[in-house]
A and B are shown apart, each in its own frame.
Chain A
Amino acid sequence: MSIYKTSINHPVTTSLIFVAVMIIGLFSLKQLPIDQFPEMDPPYVMVMTTYGGANASEIETNVSRLMENTLNSVDGLKEMNTISKDNISVVTMEFEWGLNLDDIVNDVRSYVDMVKDNLPDGCSTPFIFKFSSSAMPIMMYAVTANESYSGLEKIIDDDIIPQLNRVNGIGNISMSGQPTRNVYIDIEQEKLDAYGIPLELVGQAISANNLNMSSGNVKMSKEQYALQVRSEYASSAEINNIVVTTTPAGKQIFVRDIATVRDTIKDLSLDEKINGREGVRLMITKQSGANAVQICKDVRETLKEMKDNLPADINIENIYDSSEEIQNAINSLAESIMYALLFVVLVVLFFLGRWRATVIIGLTIPIALIVAFIYLLAVGSSLNIISLCSLTIAIGMVVDDAIVVLENITKHIERGSSPREAAIYATNEVWISVIATTLVIVAVFVPLTMLSGMAGILFKELGWIVTIAVCTSTTVAISLTPMLASIMLKGKNLVIENGKIVEKKAAVKKWSYENTVVRLLDKIDALYARLLRVCLNHKKLTMTGIVGFFALSLLPAILGYIGTDFMQQSDNARVNVTIELQRGTRIEETLKTARKLEARFRELIPEIEIMSTSAGTNDDASVGALFASTNNNKISMIVRCSKMYDRDRSIFEIAEVMREEMKQYPEINKYFCSTSGGMGAQSVDVEIYGYDFDQTSLLAEEIRQMINDSIQGARDAQVSREEDRAELNVKVDKEKLALHGLTSATVATYVRNRVNGMTVGFLKEDGDEYSIIVRLKEENRNSISDLENLTIPSATGAQIKLKELATIEEYWCPPQIDRRNRQRIVTVSVTPYDTSLGELAEDVKALIARNVKTTPGITVKIGGSYEDQQDTFADMGLLLALIVMLVFVVMASQFESLKKPFIIMMAVPFAISGVILALWITNTTLDMIGALGVVMLVGIVVKNGIVLVDYINLMRDRGYELNEAIALSGQSRLRPVLMTAATTILGMLPMALSRSEGSEMWIPMGIVVIGGLLVSTVVTLLVVPVLYSIMSRHGERDKEEEIRHSFIFFDMDEDSVYDSRVNK
């Protein structure tokens, strides 16, 4: 019993099965988390080793190279980047995407164990950690305050963070730029010298008077008391009255005599300003696997509730909210899906003209899409950009099968069958070919699931979703569709009038469907048949014309009008500005520039909503400090503008305005405006490998200059190697040291105590501790001569000036050495503006080929996201070839012929010309997503040809003459071809026209598919028939005739007998 017969005979069971599927699907939909992309763990593993006291080049030779040589043999390693800087070596290994990171980390650990013993003494045990996307902040808040600023740290720590920590799935909350309270004892050098006491003595005095100590128990008659000395400072003012020492003359010297006690917030080294107000930046990360959208929502709500309990002047503003982008993208895609559904249903209604038929076909869409949700839940994926894009793509295709089945059923009903019989027999006629066309689609999309690399992770989901949706739609088309047709469609209303059977028809109105659309379609059919006959009579002319069109359409690509990108840059309303001033600029000067820029930006760009600036460096050395690279001469700004649709200028133009402004400041050494976060980042990197620092730095700087001067579309050209850092070097004379009973170590400590300060204890207040720091006052330690005049106590207690023991020299040293794949590297990276990545890369390549003569030992290579793009395009090319082959195999087996699939395949080159024209007209660049569209086109465009060729074959088998068969089939198959093409094109239209946030990403796919399908459909309708006619001979399909030639019995003598048994 066939599936369609069973389902027609069991309508209740059939419909309930689908209802059950829908319910499970909707349940899955409710459970699905929302995310931006399918879960992907970036395949990076880092190994960090610290070696105290070594500078960058020592770290490079003694640690980094050793680690590199060993770790190089880890399986699956793609690239290895090493950073060597003071005290730290970090090896970052990039692996192929899609590998199991746990296995890799194990592997890395065993290699690290192997090398551990060879590391220099004093090295820490190498620390291995996975780079995980959950380490990136999902939200950033700016907390600003006026009066309560000094207590902000406490408020955030005690009130805000504990409450936020209660949100489910939240990872880590950290703040930066928070004011920390410190008690400073600023000592004057001259007074110390006058009294002849060293700074350390002051520290000891303060420290010794600040303690609580238990001194035993005291028993008194019946009671017992604990005895305690409580002399901890209750307030910082007490410190003033501490006696440091007594002079030989008996005079007591108080702290207030030689120093000023300041109870204040910590001296500035990292400055945070949000919209010009003092504030703190709060960064929130999530636990891995947690749902970012949900967490962001919860955090927003918690903060809103909290607001009333905080001091009134505290203002919490959002700087970055990852869920906003995700939510917007998902919403706009969901909208696209709704529109696509509407358009497809309208197309069906237009072509069929019956609402019952439209309902039956329309039902296929939700069922096919909802089954995809079950798949998503089963594999633990989410509603993300990729999965929703896949659904949009699928919408246009899932109705095709149902259309074919329903069309045939309608034909049978027109002929007078009862709907039930028609449903059974009509489905029987077409179900095999329905499955065959589905196989073609499957042949295109299943290979997508096998891609490797990052593209593989993105497209795996797409491949599965479309395959599943299309297979479901086929199942629906041969079970639910005939069942519903047998129930819902009406047979002809035949009645007997005056003994004759007549069909009872409703009165035909003037503007009815029959009179308008049907007539129009009939006219188009007839017109097409006429055109086809003309073309068949002038085959050569037609083919020349078409080939000519093909050649012409390739021109934009050949002439280089079509740019290529890796991924479209999306306008996410944010610019990250990094500014580097003249090296050695002190923090206060940097801040002045920062304030000036803030004001100018506000003036020039009224679109700015929030601007958060940080400058300077946080002196806490933590793992987090690894990722941030602010220095005293660096400013980093996050500028958030209003939403894309609320402003006229794009974020790229705004960034350009900023660049123009910053160009005018002489004090700004380098600036960099990044408009893209995360996936959309695009750059062409010129990688310069070579050991010699001076040579490579010079070459890098030359290349940067050249790119800046001669390439139009190049922006933000920057050299990766940081400029040498200015350092003051205290060079001690060891002989003199020995004379005074000192060592380098003691001198270093004394200098540190005087300049950086010595922490001599804590001031306790309300359970919190604040450091008490003793050091020289600022005027005594801010010039080289001041430093030379530092007084160092000798072993005998004598006072010696530092200049007697050492010289102070200014010198430069590289702060960091970068290596890639075990070679020193400098990169010059460039981002494109108003041009595509591919074109920029070509320009840079040409420039380097023309002007750069490499010396031995230096190699120059082009890399960056351009390299990724080249890799991905190569993958896509391979995939395209594979898919073309698979589709050919499926079709060849369907037609049992090698010629026919070849004819149908002719639609593919014209799809390419459609793609080129569409990209050219819309001025879009071809990126990874667009390339995927091209790959998909192969499956979509051949469907048209299959329908046509299948019918031509049928007509010829029925005995029609070749050209007549072609013309007739063309006329009869025009409508289904137009209909399937229209559903797919209109299904993609909302995606191509979408202008919401993040839509830049999927627009190219819409454009590519629409352009390719449009052109190839029109051309297919002419090329396929004409080629068919050229490549076929009259009568070639009469296989029977050939066999019959061997039938000789007909003419033999009636009585002659051939008996094989006798003749044996």
Chain B
Amino acid sequence: MKAVFIVYNQANTERVEYMLDRLGIKGFTYWEDVQGQGSVDGEPRRGTHTWPEMNSAIITVVEDEMVPELLSRIKRLDNRNKEVGVRAFVWNVEATV
């Protein structure tokens, strides 16, 4: 089991939901408003007057074999419009209840 943490510009919300739907991923946890800034060239998303945009984040725990498919679709979404970006990070799930 892997946890995939997806952070994306809020403008991508409906597309991310659509993507998870298409891939048959049911479980998720979702934060509506999160702030952040990319390490390389990402614009800050701070919800301030200077940087008014905001990100949202979803963490979803999927079977190992689902991860490559998911990342590939996320990559396409990112490629669709670089300005309205999306990032994903994957880590191991040690245990669940």
- Chain A residues contacting B18 (CB-CB under 8 Å) are 1044, 1047, 1050
A1061: Cβ under 8 A from any B Cβ:
yes
Q: How far is the CB of B80 from chain A (nearest CB, A)?
A: 4
Given contacts A1043-B14, A1047-B18, A1049-B15, contact A1054 B82 (CB under 8 A): no
Minimal beta-carbon separation of A493 from chain B (angstroms): 27
Task: Write the chain A residue with the least CB distance to B14.
Answer: A1043
Indicate whether A1052 reaches chain B with its CB closer than 8 angstroms. yes
Q: Is the CB of B79 within 8 A of A1054?
A: yes
**76-93 of chain B: CB within 8 A of chain A:** 76-77, 79-83
A155 to chain B, nearest CB (A): 91
Within B20-64, the residues touching A (CB, 8 Å) are 22
Residues on B with beta carbons closer than 8 Å to the beta carbon of A1052: 76, 79-80
The minimal Cβ–Cβ distance linking A346 to chain B, given in whole angstroms, is 47
Please name the 6 residue pairs, one residue from A and one from B, whose CB atoms are nearest each other, closest first.
A1049-B80, A1057-B79, A1059-B82, A1049-B77, A1044-B18, A1049-B76
Interchain CA distance A1058-B77 in the complex, whole Å: 10
Chain B's closest residue to A1055 (CB) is: B79
**In contact, A1056 and B14 (Cβ under 8 angstroms):** no
Chain B hits for A1059, CB < 8 A: 81-83
Do A1058 and B15 touch across chains, with their CB atoms under 8 A apart?
A: no
Contacts of A1040 in B (CB 8 A): 14
25 A-B residue pairings within 8 Å (CB atoms)? A1040-B14, A1044-B14, A1044-B18, A1047-B18, A1049-B76, A1049-B79, A1050-B18, A1050-B19, A1050-B22, A1050-B73, A1050-B76, A1050-B77, A1052-B79, A1054-B76, A1055-B79, A1057-B79, A1058-B79, A1058-B80, A1058-B81, A1058-B82, A1059-B81, A1059-B83, A1060-B82, A1060-B83, A1061-B82
Q: Contact partner of A1047 among B15, B72, B79, B83, CB < 8 A? A: B15
Chain B residues whose CB sits within 8 angstroms of the CB of A1053 once the complex forms: 76
Bound CA–CA A1044/B83 (angstroms): 21
Q: B-contacting residues of A (Cβ < 8 Å)?
A: 1040, 1043-1044, 1047, 1049-1050, 1052-1061
A1059 to B79 alpha-carbon distance, docked (Å)? 8
B81–A1060 touching, CB < 8 Å: yes
A1056 surroundings in chain B (CB, below 8 A): 79
Closest to A1062 in B: B82
Interface centre among A1050, A1053, A1056, A1058 (most CB of B within 10 A): A1050
Residues of B within 8 A of A1055 (CB): 79
Instruction: Given A1043-B14, A1047-B18, A1049-B15, answer yes or no on A1061-B83 (Cβ-Cβ < 8 Å).
Output: yes
Contacts of B19 in A (CB 8 A): 1050
Q: How far is A1058 from B22 in the complex, measured between Cα atoms in Å?
A: 22
Q: Once the chains are docked, how many angstroms separate the CA of A1055 from the CA of B19?
A: 17
- Chain A nearest CB from B85 CB (Å) reads 11
CA distance A1054 to B79 in the complex (A): 8
- A1055 to B72: give the CA distance in the assembly, Å: 10
| Separation of A1059 and B80 alpha carbons in the complex (Å) | 7
**A1057: contacting residue among B72, B73, B82, CB under 8 A:** B82
- Identity of the chain A residue whose Cβ is nearest the Cβ of B21 in the assembled complex: A1044
Excluding A1054-B75, A1054-B76, 10 further A-B contacts by CB distance (< 8 Å) are A1040-B14, A1044-B18, A1047-B18, A1050-B19, A1050-B76, A1054-B79, A1055-B79, A1056-B79, A1057-B82, A1060-B81
Give the CA-CA distance A1055 to B80 in the complex, in Å. Answer: 10
Measured in the bound complex, the distance between the Cα atoms of B82 and A1040 in whole Å is 24
CA distance A806 to B82 in the complex (A): 125
Q: How far is the CA of A1057 from the CA of B75 in the complex (A)?
A: 10
* Residue of chain B at shortest CB distance from A1044: B18
Residues of chain B within 8 A (CB-CB) of A1057 are: 79, 82
From B72, B81, B83, A1054 is in contact (CB under 8 Å) with B72
Give Cα A196–Cα B14 distance, bound, in whole angstroms.
127
Which residue of chain B is the closest to A1049 with respect to CB atoms?
B80
B residues less than 8 Å from A1054 (CB atoms): 72, 75-76, 79
B79 CB, min distance to chain A CBs, angstroms: 5
- CB closest chain-A residue, reference B22: A1050
Chain A nearest CB, measured from B71 CB (Å): 10
Which residues of chain A have C-beta atoms less than 8 A from B77's C-beta?
A: 1049-1050
Q: Tell me, rounded to whole Å, the shortest Cβ–Cβ distance linking A957 to chain B.
A: 15
- Give Cα distance in the complex from A1044 to B81, angstroms: 17
State A1047–B14 Cα separation when bound (angstroms).
9
Query: Which residues of chain B have C-beta atoms less than 8 A from A1044's C-beta?
Result: 14, 18
Nearest residue, chain B, Cβ from A1051: B76
Task: Kindly report which residue of chain A lies nearest to residue B84, judged by CB atoms.
Answer: A1060
**A1040 (CB) vs chain B CBs: closest residue:** B14
Measured in the bound complex, the distance between the Cα atoms of B51 and A1020 in whole Å is: 53
Interface-central residue, B14, B22, B76, by most chain A CB under 10 Å: B76
Say how far B23's CB is from chain A's closest CB, in angstroms: 9
Instruction: Please measure, in the bound complex, the distance between the C-alpha atom of A1053 and the C-alpha atom of B73, giving whole angstroms.
Output: 10
- Give Cα distance in the complex from A1060 to B81, angstroms: 7
With both beta carbons as reference points, the residue of chain A lying nearest to B83 in the complex is identified as A1060
Please indicate the chain B residues that have their CB under 8 angstroms from the CB of A1047 in the complex.
14-15, 18
Bound Cα distance A744, B80 (Å): 119
What is the distance, in angstroms, from B42's C-beta to the closest C-beta of chain A? 14
CA distance A1056 to B79 in the complex (A): 7
Q: Which of A1043, A1044, A1055 gathers the greatest number of chain B CB atoms within 10 Å?
A: A1044
Residues of chain B contacted by A1058 (CB below 8 angstroms): 79-82
Determine the residue in chain B with the shortest Cβ distance to A1057.
Answer: B79
Q: Smallest distance from the beta carbon of B17 to chain A beta carbons, Å?
A: 8
Shortest beta-carbon distance from A141 to chain B in Å = 80
Residue of chain A at shortest CB distance from B77: A1049
- Closest residue of chain B to A1041 (Cβ to Cβ) is B18
Alpha-carbon gap, A1059 to B82, bound state (A)? 6
**A1052 CA to B75 CA, complexed, in Å:** 10
Q: How far is the CA of A1049 from the CA of B73 in the complex (A)?
A: 8
Residues of A within 8 A of B82 (CB): 1057-1061
Q: Which residue on chain A has the smallest CB distance to residue B72?
A: A1054
Cα(A1054)–Cα(B14), bound, Å: 20
In the complex the two chains form, what is the Cα distance from A543 to B80 in whole Å? 52
Give the residues in chain A near B15, CB-CB below 8 Å: 1047, 1049
Q: How far is the CA of A1060 from the CA of B76 in the complex (A)?
A: 15
Closest Cβ of chain A to B74, distance in Å, is 10
